[in-house]
A and B are shown apart, each in its own frame.
Chain A
Amino acid sequence: MLYYIGIGILVLVIAFFMAATQKARGYNFWRYFIVSLVIVASIYMMLENLVLKPK
């Protein structure tokens, strides 16, 4: 459980920072936050199945 909470926080943090770099350039934070969130979450699921395979 703790593992997934950690991953969830990491996904949010990365999406936040990636969107924040776009916000810095004067563009819509939420648009990029949602795009980042979807990508990060999907890539995590792919990685979990393909590479990490937690026992």
Chain B
Amino acid sequence: MGTLVIIAQLILALAILVVLHELGHFIPAKLFKIKVEKFYLFFNPWFSLFKIKKGDTEYGIGWLPLGGYVKIAGMIDESMDTDQMKQPPKPDEFRSKPTWQRLIIMIGGVTVNILLAFFLYAMIAYFWGKDYVKNQDYIYGIEVLTEKLEGENLFMNGDKILAVEGEPLDDLMQANSKMLINQAKNYTVERNGEIVEITIKEEGVDYMLEEENIVFRPRIPSIIDSVLDRSLANKTGLKKGDKFNTLNGENVEMYDDFRKTIIQLKSIQTDSFEMVINRNGELLTLSGQFDTSYTFGFYNVNAYSDVFKKTHISYTFGEAIPEGYRIAKKTLSDYISQFKLIFTKKEAVKKVGGFGTIAKIFPTTWDWRTFWSRTAFLSVVLAFMNILPIPALDGGHVMFLLYEMIAGRPPSDKFLEKAQLFGFMILVSLMLLANGNDVYRWITGN
């Protein structure tokens, strides 16, 4: 059922994005009185699921959900309609129109995607606001998830990150993205009441790319959220809300210490345990015998539990608009920074994902806030990928139109045809890389 929900979300998001992107080309083309032969959501090789002809244009829905297209008369695109191009230009064809009109048509799709992302982020802010835990409210500081960044001169569990590259940190999770995306090197932390300046190299980026994990997460106290039936925790008499103090003499008030202590006890095959817990302010000593799994069988509270004070920000309509703009801009700049990693970090090439990876950004349950947020993100991705100066993509057409504006004449049709084929080859390669990685990960389980 979860998989069906993911597929439904992916197809709905793609349908919205493709229709609006193609409308971005279609509307200006119609305004400039250019003949548009086809407008299709999804591709329709051999047959269409639905089609209707109105005026000059055939509107339809294809069966292959890899995108969509508008077929504009007199335009060299990846379809390479060379027969049409051999005829003299007609007044209602793309190639007869001035360069500025053709440029508007070509950037229309990407412009709509950017505007859509901005609109969606603004509406999410207006209708749902923002819920998060402020960095300062993670009162136990951070837990460092890799030994590569742990130490006196690096980070330590319990540190509070105050600033990254001199900028105050409001959301702790931003410390991870700044390390990965912006390759931030300088951190200001508070350690035992003192301010410590930390400078790192690229250990964090390498770790995150290799392990597909974050570096920091909030440090969480050892407090039981729920106890599993027929578990050692239940047998020992542990209850929801119990706070751990010590386990076999070791301080385990923090959950990372609790986990480390269990690993240590398991490594020396300790049979029995004695723990001190705090139940409603009263200290209790409990004891028992470990089983072979060394698992107690309880869920600890998490970073989003009531242990931490949550902040909700509401936006008026007027406030939601600049917030939408800010998020769309940040999403785009973060995506561009991540894209650059492909060329600078070998590990990043393996993290490029195709349709499987895109599908995974949707949750297994339907939640409209998440759905619109992910759709807005995909809209940014679609805009960026489409404006890359690769022939056969919108950006390739824009590149040649700009050349025409500067040089005063267009590249020859023969050159354009060859460039389109070259661009098509690049697209096929990208498809292989992205989807090949998905399949490789699926086969190897990584």
Give the B interface residue count (CB, 8 A): 33
A-B contact pairs, 28 of them (CB 8 A): A3-B443, A6-B439, A6-B443, A14-B432, A14-B435, A14-B436, A17-B64, A17-B66, A20-B43, A21-B45, A21-B64, A21-B69, A22-B79, A23-B45, A23-B46, A24-B64, A24-B69, A25-B38, A25-B78, A26-B71, A27-B81, A29-B45, A35-B425, A43-B432, A43-B433, A47-B433, A51-B346, A51-B349
**CB proximity of A42 to chain B, nearest CB, Å:** 9
Residues in chain A near residue B67, CB distance under 8 A: 21
Which residues in A have their C-beta under 8 angstroms from that of B209?
A: none
Say yes or no: B62 contacts A24, CB within 8 Å. Answer: yes
Q: How distant is B216 from chain A, measured CB to nearest CB, in Å?
A: 29
A48 to chain B, nearest CB (A): 10
In the complex, which residues of chain B have a beta carbon less than 8 angstroms from the beta carbon of A44? 432, 436
Residues in A with CB closer than 8 Å to B424 are: 18, 32, 35
- At the interface, yes or no: B362 with Cβ under 8 Å from chain A? no
Residues of chain B within 8 A (CB-CB) of A11 are 432
A26 to B125, CA, bound (A): 43
Q: What is the bound-complex CA distance between A18 and B349, given in angstroms?
A: 22
Q: A25 to B431, Cβ gap below 8 A?
A: no
Which chain B residues border A40 with CB–CB below 8 Å? 428-429, 431-432
In contact, B428 and A24 (Cβ under 8 angstroms): no
Please give, as numbers and ranges, the residues of chain A lying within 8 Å of B66 by CB-CB distance. 17, 21
Which A residue's beta carbon lies closest to that of B350?
A51
**In whole angstroms, what is the CA distance A40 to B64 when docked?**
20
Cα separation A14 to B346 with both chains bound (whole Å) = 24
Q: B80–A27 contact, CB under 8 A?
A: yes
Within B51-83, which residues are at the interface with A (CB < 8 Å)? 62, 64, 66-67, 69, 71, 78-81
In the complex, chain A residues 32-55 whose Cβ is within 8 Å of any chain B Cβ: 32, 35-36, 39-40, 43-44, 47, 51-52
In addition to A18-B424, A44-B432, 15 A-B residue pairs with Cβ atoms within 8 Å of each other are: A10-B435, A14-B431, A14-B436, A17-B431, A21-B66, A21-B69, A24-B44, A26-B79, A32-B424, A35-B428, A36-B428, A40-B428, A40-B429, A43-B433, A51-B350
Q: How far is the CA of A6 from the CA of B46 in the complex (A)?
A: 27
Instruction: List A contacts of B64 (CB < 8 A).
Output: 17, 20-21, 24
Q: Complex Cα distance A11/B78, Å?
A: 21
Q: Tell which of A3, A18, A47 touches B428, judged by Cβ atoms closer than 8 Å.
A: A18
Contact between chains at B62 and A22 (CB < 8 Å): no
- Which residues in A have their C-beta under 8 angstroms from that of B81? 25-27
* Residue B440 CB within 8 A of the other chain: yes
- Residues of chain B within 8 A of A29, CB atoms compared: 45
> Is A43 in contact with B429, judged by CB distance below 8 angstroms?
yes
A31 to chain B, nearest CB (A): 10
Please tell me if the beta carbons of A39 and B429 are within 8 angstroms of each other in the complex.
yes
CB of B427 within 8 Å of the partner chain:
yes
From B425, which residue of chain A is reached at the shortest CB distance? A39
For the complex formed, measure the closest distance between the CB of A18 and the CB atoms of chain B, giving whole angstroms: 5
| B439 to chain A: closest residue by CB | A10
* Interface mask (B336-377 → A, CB under 8 Å = 1, otherwise 0): 000000000010011000000000000000000000000000
- Distance, CA A32 to CA B425, complexed state (A): 10
A41 → B minimal CB distance (Å): 9
Cβ–Cβ < 8 Å partners of A51 in chain B: 346, 349-350
Which of A3, A6, A14, A27 meets B79, CB within 8 Å?
Answer: A27
In the assembled complex, how far is the CB of residue B220 from the closest CB belonging to chain A, in whole angstroms?
38
| B217-252 with Cβ < 8 A to chain A | none
Instruction: State the CA gap A18–B432 with chains docked (Å).
Output: 10
A25→B425 contact, CB < 8 A: no
Of the listed residues A11, A21, A26, A52, the one surrounded by the most CB atoms of chain B closer than 10 A to its CB is A21
Complex contact B439–A24 (CB within 8 A): no
Q: Let me know if B40 is at the binding interface, CB within 8 A.
A: yes
> Chain B 133-150, CB within 8 Å of chain A: the 1/0 string?
000000000000000000
Check A22–B439 contact: CB distance below 8 A: no
What are the residues of chain B within 8 A of A22 when measuring CB–CB? 78-79
Task: Give, as a whole number of angstroms, the nearest-CB distance from B239 to chain A.
Answer: 50
A-side contacts of B433, CB under 8 Å: 43, 47
A41 to B436, CA, bound (A): 12
For A11, give the chain B residue with the smallest CB separation: B432
- When C-beta atoms are compared, the residue in chain A nearest to B430 turns out to be A43
B421 located at the interface, meaning its Cβ lies under 8 Å from any Cβ of chain A in the complex: yes
Q: Report the minimum CB–CB distance from B53 to chain A (whole Å).
A: 15
Q: Are A39 and B436 in contact (CB under 8 A)?
A: no
